Amino acid sequence: MRLKVILNQLSVILDKNIPGDIVEFGCYIGTTSLFISRLIKQANSDKEFHVYDSFSGLPHKTIQDASVAGSDFKAGELKASKRELVRNYKKAGLKTPLIHKSWFSEINSKHLPSTIAFALLDGDFYNSIRDSLDLVWPRLDNSGIIIIDDYNKSNLPGVTRAVEDFFKTEKANIVHQTDLAIITKP
């Protein structure tokens, strides 16, 4: 269901040819990335696709990530290599996206597209979501879409807290669907 929502939202962007490129923060081994790439190819779009990941697993949690639902997702878990991502693309016969290896907090804005049409943020923790929102929101086209994974999940409360804190000072439309937040500019 989540994948269907993501691809439906991306289809809107591609069908309307909203200005800007596509970014994914937190690509892991590329499971969702591959679907995004297939849709870009199917639409015959010239949009560039950028993926960002530490390829070192998850960072350490902060107090904002504390959950009574458990202690899932520890630092270093969900580690995948850049090589594994590229291998998955080659196996699928798809063009490899532009890969940026870095913690989100260390990404230099020069490594971002000047305009973003669609962003998928899958950072799992408070700081990762805040850092990626800080990077993406100012570059999001007025008709662009941000989707945040793990929104309103009890075992990953930092995601929802980061969204709520960020949008205390920014106006946005936020729709909650499954465990995703779909965010657009008003």
Domain map of the chain by residue range?
2-184
DSSP label at residue 104: G
pLDDT of 88-103, one tens digit each? Answer: 999 999 999 999 999 9
Amino acid 94: pLDDT = 98
Percentage of the chain beyond pLDDT 90 is 84
Amino acid 59: pLDDT = 81
Domain 2-184 belongs in CATH node 3.40.50.150: yes
pTM, to two decimals: 0.95
C-alpha distances in angstroms, 74 versus 77, 122, 158? 6, 15, 13
Res. 71: pLDDT tops 70? no
pLDDT of 23-70, one tens digit each? Answer: 999 999 999 999 999 999 999 999 999 999 999 978 888 899 888 766
DSSP label at residue 61: -
**Tokens coding 99:** 């890969």
